[in-house]
Structure 1
Amino acid sequence: MRQNPRFKWAVAPVSAALLLALAGCTNQQLNGFMPGDPNNGGPGVTNHSDTIATFWTNSWIVLMGIGFLVWVLILWASIAYRRRRGEKGLPHQLRYHMPIEILFTVIPVILVGGFFAFTAREQAKVEHNFAQDEVDVHIEVYGKQWAWDFNYLPVEGSEYDGGVYYEGVQAVPAADATKGEIDTDKLPKLYLPVGANAQIDLKSRDVAHSFWVVDFLYKEDTIPGKTNTMSIVAEREGVYMGKCAELCGEYHSMMLFEVHVVSQEEYNAYIQSLRDAGQEGAHGDEYNRNTHLEGTDVPSFGPEEQH
């Protein structure tokens, strides 16, 4: 089969431009512009960050490829089937083209099923609990209007300290705030030791909230009466911003917190500081606001009321 030399000359510069563009991508671009400071060349903030970012980037590549194909087909149809000079009336109408209709049905179903499967896989990794003897740190997180409480529960056999609690307050403006700045020193702070297997139980004291640490690339809802779980390993020390990602009332935007990923020594020192402040034990479900409302108890009937 004879090759068209014009096609060869057209492909060469396109291929060279594509290779040059890919070779010039920064770590941030290869990471899909996701948060987490990928330019440092190290691992993601948690043990799940890299795979989540890869899934995000690959999804965009697939979707952009489909979008490019659709644009090309639209342009081709607009040019190839445009009205020519001297033509009148409607062009030939095509109906019930079963192969095309099946194609336009099957491809979206495959795409939706594929995205769902990969999303469920990544979600299952985060929500899969460590074995009981593998847990180093066990923390209860309570969302409340409009702050966060943290219980650092003791773990038998763990080298990490526990048995204390922390009660957070709503974000407050900074003393010299001129552009909406907040006082970060007063934000609730969750401490995690770097490299430790951390099981985080997520609960709510009142309404639905959502625990979102931006650089973790994952969020999980806190639902009244239900416990959701995240199992993570924080792999990079630093301070990471967190917020509520579920509209939960008037001051939802002020429901902020910080996650401090620190060394084991600094983590144990922080736990000891809470113990020295008298914050031993845990503030659990008994402090939930819903338990103090009327109509939340199961009704009981006396013998005379059962007839």
Structure 2
Amino acid sequence: MIEYGFRLPSSHDNRPLKFEEFERHLDKTILVSATPGKYDYEKTDKKNIVEQVIRPTGLVDPIVEIQETKGQIDDLIKRLNVVIKNGHRGLITTLTKNSAEKLTEFLVEANFKVKYLHSDIDTLERIDILRDLRLGVIDVIVGINLLREGLDLPEVAFIGILDADKQGFLRSTTALIQTIGRAARNVEGYVVMYADKITDAMAAALSETERRRNIQIAHNLKHGITPQSIVKAVKDIAQHRSTKLKGGKKSDATKVPKEERLRLLAEMEAQMDLASQNFEFEKAAELRDEIERLQAEWGL
């Protein structure tokens, strides 16, 4: 086919570029990341690195305390009671599913309004749990890897990190910095690491957090800024769904083959799951609403 002109020569190897091939096409490149990794630093000259750690809200990185593991649950309960009494919420991260489940059961028995957020929870329930936390229907969320980049909960003023001195990717320097940062949306936010020793990862995370605090505090003093908690509206997903269904444009199903409709829905569901995993819940909700609309319209 190529020889007789029916196909382009490129069809011999028709695929996306491999990363190494893509790199060869790069000349002058700007790398942007909230959490730059080893690759970013290796490819960038130190004098060309520009930091953006100053927040326009004036919020500083939270104070981080280290508490020994002996009596940690009693300490956790005392802190949660104070946080909730002040109208705020708490997040607790553990290392194993078993420990998260047991802690959740214990807190429920202690009359806390708490939910356990884990990987088996589907997209819609995950959205509802986080929304309930923001509205005060629940006061505490327990999880393993729920404190990831992009989780924006201004109502959270306390984060408890259990087993902070254990080795692993969930307790690496980057992971700890990201987790600590989740408490930086609230002016009263603070973090407690429960540990019996200070690991290299903990020391690095504490040092970086303190460095960022000092930069922000100096900026606030220089410009007379008073830190203010982030104010973010809690969108009513059910209302959003109703509006979308009433006002959405209808497509002509007769013009779309059934196989194509099924393929499109499967692709949208994959995008919805990915958005949920990345904590892009508003995007996930919009995709879910559109999927439901199309399923109803197409009779699927």
TM-score (norm 2): 0.21
Greater Rg, structure 1 or structure 2?
A: 1
Q: Which has the larger share of strand?
A: 1
Q: Which has the higher contact order (CA 8 A, sep 6+)?
A: 2
